[in-house]
Amino acid sequence: MAGETIHGHRFFIGFGGKGANQCVQAARMGAKTAMVCKVGRDVFGNYYIQNFKNNGISTAYVEQTENAATGAASIIVNDTGENAIVIVAGANMLLGQEELQRALTAIVNAKVLVCQMARENHVKTIFNPAPAIADLCSDFYKASDVFCCNESEAELLTGLSVTSVEDASQVGLELLNKGCGSVIVTLGPQGCVVCQSTNMAPKHIPTTAVTAADATGAGDSFIGALAFYMAHYPTMPLEEMARRANLVAAMSVQTVGTQTSFPFQKDLPTELF
Ligand code: ATP
């Protein structure tokens, strides 16, 4: 409540940001990765960069600024697991055209770009509309080779409710009609639905549901794994990539934490490679 001071039980700092999480998962599976982002010239920024290095991610395009603090989120979780989150985007908001221009060579030479744009350079793009906004500009759909969202993002983007595989198939087609190359709607323990063409029925890719110790970051683990498969196995059918990404993400939900729960190549069955 406003004005109240209470005691908590435990405090810890973890690394995040959806883009960073997705990059870490792809790197841990063996992908050559680079992050394009901006952090503050502060202690969090220094740790943040070190964390990328520890995960083998290139930081050549991670810039530090004096003009804002490193982006951070305070997440307060109560004893029943409910949370309250305050996000301060900070230095993220200062990433602009100039920085992207400096990273352009790396972007155009990449096999997969996770976010948006760069399609004209034949780089495959995965766009993850998180946090979703209802009136997403049509360019984002058109620039996405694979548009990947979860149930709540799909609901916000289409105005349709998503509570079943059938609903996900319906919204997948709706999103596909907005101009994306393909659409994947993730469904937690039910796996995901893949839509590739309006002439083809959407395909449910089920998974083996596991008891989640902490599902935070499951979507990021899925997208990171998908990026890995798109970069390393470009001719693999998207449905097979989604089946494998389901299994990687299922492993991530069985351990507490976000990046801390993301598996390395050595932790995964060899048939996933
Ligand atoms: P978050 O916001 O927590 O990162 P999300 O809502 O974006 O997650 P989900 O759709 O919940 O993403 O999960 C992404 C993927 O993770 C699913 O498609 C599935 O492959 C896997 N997954 C999530 N929960 C489970 C579970 N309990 N059992 C097996 N797989 C799971």
pLDDT tens for 172-194 read 999 999 999 999 999 999 999 99
Query: Same domain for 200 and 233?
Result: yes
Going by C-alpha positions, the residue among 256, 195, 187 that lies closest to residue 222 is 187
Residue 54, domain CATH: 3.40.1190.30
ipTM: 0.97
Ligand 1 in reach of 192 Cβ (< 6 A)? yes
- Tokens 């982006």 correspond to 71
Ligand 1 in reach of 207 Cβ (< 6 A)? yes
Ligand 1 in reach of 213 Cβ (< 6 A)? no
Ligand 1 atom at minimal distance to the Cα of residue 152? 6
Q: What would the mean pLDDT of 103-115 be, rounded to a whole number?
A: 91
Ligand 1 atom at minimal distance to the Cα of residue 220? 4
Going by C-alpha positions, the residue among 133, 126, 181 that lies closest to residue 157 is 133
pLDDT 10s digits, 46-75: 999 999 999 999 999 999 999 999 999 998
Query: Same domain for 84 and 114?
Result: no
Residue that finishes a domain, picked among 67, 85, 108: 108
Task: Look up 220 and say whether it is catalytic.
Answer: yes
Query: Same domain for 53 and 79?
Result: yes
Distance CA 219, CA 261 (A): 12
159 is in an annotated binding site: no
21 is in an annotated binding site: yes
Query: Same domain for 76 and 161?
Result: no
Span from the CA of 219 to the centroid of ligand 1 (angstroms): 5
Query: Same domain for 92 and 218?
Result: no
Query: Same domain for 139 and 49?
Result: no
Distance CA 126, CA 176 (A): 14
Residue 136, domain CATH: 3.40.1190.20
Query: Which residue is closest in CA terms to ligand 1's atom 30?
Result: 250
Query: Same domain for 253 and 146?
Result: yes
Ligand 1 atom at minimal distance to the Cα of residue 151? 10
> What percent of the chain has pLDDT above 90?
75
Q: Note the pTM of the prediction, 2 decimals.
A: 0.88
Cβ neighbourhood burial of 78 (10 Å; 0-12, 13-18, 19+): exposed
Ligand 1 in reach of 222 Cβ (< 6 A)? yes
List Cβ neighbours of 11 (8 Å cut-off, separation of 6 or more).
none
Does residue 11 lie within any of the structural domains? no
Does residue 200 lie within any of the structural domains? yes
Ligand 1 in reach of 250 Cβ (< 6 A)? yes
Domain span at residue 86?
Answer: 35-108
Residue that finishes a domain, picked among 65, 82, 108: 108
Tally of domains in the chain: 2
Choice among 16-20, 29-33, 102-106, 133-137 with the minimum mean pLDDT: 133-137
128: confidence class by pLDDT, cuts 50, 70, 90: very high
Using DSSP, state whether 61 is helix, strand or coil: strand
Ligand 1 atom at minimal distance to the Cα of residue 258? 4
Does residue 20 lie within any of the structural domains? no
Query: Same domain for 148 and 229?
Result: yes
Phi, psi of 62 (to 5 degrees): -100, 115
Query: Same domain for 211 and 168?
Result: yes
Going by C-alpha positions, the residue among 167, 192, 172, 189 that lies closest to residue 242 is 192
Query: Same domain for 244 and 148?
Result: yes
Residue that finishes a domain, picked among 108, 138, 156: 108
Does residue 17 lie within any of the structural domains? no
Span from the CA of 246 to the centroid of ligand 1 (angstroms): 8
Query: Same domain for 170 and 98?
Result: no
Query: Same domain for 248 and 139?
Result: yes
Ligand 1 in reach of 186 Cβ (< 6 A)? yes
